[in-house]
Structure 1
Amino acid sequence: MAVPSRSIDEHGLPVSLVDVAGRRIRESILSGALKPGDKIVEEQLCASLGISRAPLREALRLLGQQGLVEHLPRRGSRVTEWSPQDILQLFELRHILERHAIESALPLADLTTDLDPVRAALDDLRVAARRDDDLEKDDAHRRFHASVVGLAGNRQLDIAMEPILLKLQLPMAINLRNEARVHDPADGIRRHEYVLEALETNDPKIAVAAAKNHGQLDFLDLESTS
């Protein structure tokens, strides 16, 4: 499907061809239509999106910064392929930063307002699920974990967390989508509700345990890819 010459986002604002192309490619990667290791054929994408190579290559460059696409010298681009060890290490790094943030932040002074960013991300996750919008669900999922780290009010911690979450967005998406196929689609949301409930206890030990053991690896089937 060609990209309209003037695309508009949900707020009625114009969206660039780079943004639209990036969203389409990212959606293809996170949905599994483009799989890890798949070569990205620029000619085919230009034809299917109805755009020139310049915005496509810029979109691919930005996706490369997110860790979804890797550029190979003289061989073009392909979908990034993480090994099971890479994925486990990235999840471990995520947990280390979340644990540090939780232990730094809790007990919170005002549970009513301090947890609002976490609640807002969880609400976005629910809305995206009701709309059956997997890409927005993936974004809300990432914001949820970013907001947990944000509780510490530590800018350097937030900066450190961002690239980890971007590199993890594909395994995080796979885990949620595989879970929705074999269980109740709402289970993924419930798992994150339990994390919020643990944070609401204001007990760092309970919250750290919930963040570490909330099923983030349960549906990835890493052994079959090792």
Structure 2
Amino acid sequence: MGDGELESHSLVDLALDRLSREILSGRTDPGERLVEEQLTRRLGISRAPLREALRLLAQQGLVEHIPRRGVRVATLSDDDVRELYEVRDVLERHAVANIRPGADLSGLQAALEVMRKSTEAGDRLAIADAHRRFHVEVVTLGGNRQLSVLYESVLVRLQLYMAVNLRREAEVAEPSDGVHRHERLLAAVALGDANAIISALSAHGARTYLP
């Protein structure tokens, strides 16, 4: 890979990171148009890396390409959200049935530590990202890599849904609650008891994996 290709790749990563953070933090509204001319000026990049970043965001389900109307932040209907939660639950139950005692918990412990620090700092997006990473690490312990990839894609789309409520959640939720729930989930995983893990997951509530 030449220098030009490396520079283009890094610009794609820059745009991808900035735009995904804006979308998942709730700073953009579902259905909001993303205008290329404005984005290239604001991000200081050309159209080629921007379009590649938008393509990758579309693959993640965070933006939608609308024929003759450009790109907009993705929207989720009530049915979309209900179906995503159903898929999430099915994948979790399948994965945790294959977790055994003695599993490597380092990924879970690292995500939990990030969650603690983000909670202390009051960084809602970092907290949400850490929660997603924690749950992906749980499912990864089930040993099915393709299932884990699918599971994370579902969580990213649910995080988009939850982003709309991040500010409201900050007003009503005790920040440490999420840490304590994940500590209990970590203890259940350490036991390798599928029923205990499912019970701990259920304690998060039927409609969220965030605080």
TM range (shorter): 0.7 to 0.9
Structure 1-normalised TM-score? 0.78
Cα distance in 1 between the residues matched to 2:155 and 2:176: 22
Structure-2 change in CA distance of 1:181 and 1:86 (3 Å): same
Deviations 1:35-77 (A, max 9, x none): 1111111222222222222221111111111110010112100
Residues 17-56 of structure 1: pairs in structure 2 closer than 5 A = 17-56=11-50
Q: 2:91 aligns with which of 79, 89, 97?
A: 97
Structure-2 change in CA distance of 1:129 and 1:156 (3 Å): same
RMSD across aligned positions (CA): 2.5
Cα distance in 2 between the residues matched to 1:34 and 1:131: 22
Cα distance in 2 between the residues matched to 1:215 and 1:177: 19
Structure-2 change in CA distance of 1:69 and 1:175 (3 Å): same
Equivalences, count: 202
Deviations 1:63-116 (A, max 9, x none): 1111100101121000000012211211221111111111122xx232xx5322
- Which position in structure 1 is the counterpart of 2:134? 144
Q: Answer yes or no: is the 8 Å Cα contact 2:95–2:139 preserved in 1.
A: yes
- Which position in structure 1 is the counterpart of 2:55? 61
Deviation of 1:128 (Å) = 2.9
- Which position in structure 1 is the counterpart of 2:104? 114
Structure-2 change in CA distance of 1:121 and 1:175 (3 Å): farther
Deviation of 1:134 (Å) = 4.0
Tell me the SS of whatever aligns to 1:114: coil
- Which position in structure 2 is the counterpart of 1:181? 171
Structure 2-normalised TM-score? 0.83
Structure-2 change in CA distance of 1:120 and 1:173 (3 Å): farther
Structure-2 change in CA distance of 1:38 and 1:138 (3 Å): same
Which one-letter code corresponds to 1:60 in the other structure?
L
Q: Answer yes or no: is the 8 Å Cα contact 1:176–1:219 preserved in 2.
A: no
Q: Answer yes or no: is the 8 Å Cα contact 2:34–2:70 preserved in 1.
A: yes
Residues 145-224 of structure 1: pairs in structure 2 closer than 5 A = 145-174=135-164, 178-215=168-205, 217=207
Q: Answer yes or no: is the 8 Å Cα contact 1:71–1:77 preserved in 2.
A: yes
Which blocks of at least 5 consecutive residues in structure 1 are unaligned? 1-14, 221-226
Aligned-pair identity in percent equals 51
- Which position in structure 1 is the counterpart of 2:68? 74
Deviation of 1:177 (Å) = 5.1
Which one-letter code corresponds to 1:109 in the other structure?
P
Structure with the greater relative contact order (CA < 8 A, sep ≥ 6): 1 or 2? 2
Which blocks of at least 5 consecutive residues in structure 2 are unaligned? 1-8
- Which position in structure 1 is the counterpart of 2:115? 125
- Which position in structure 1 is the counterpart of 2:80? 86
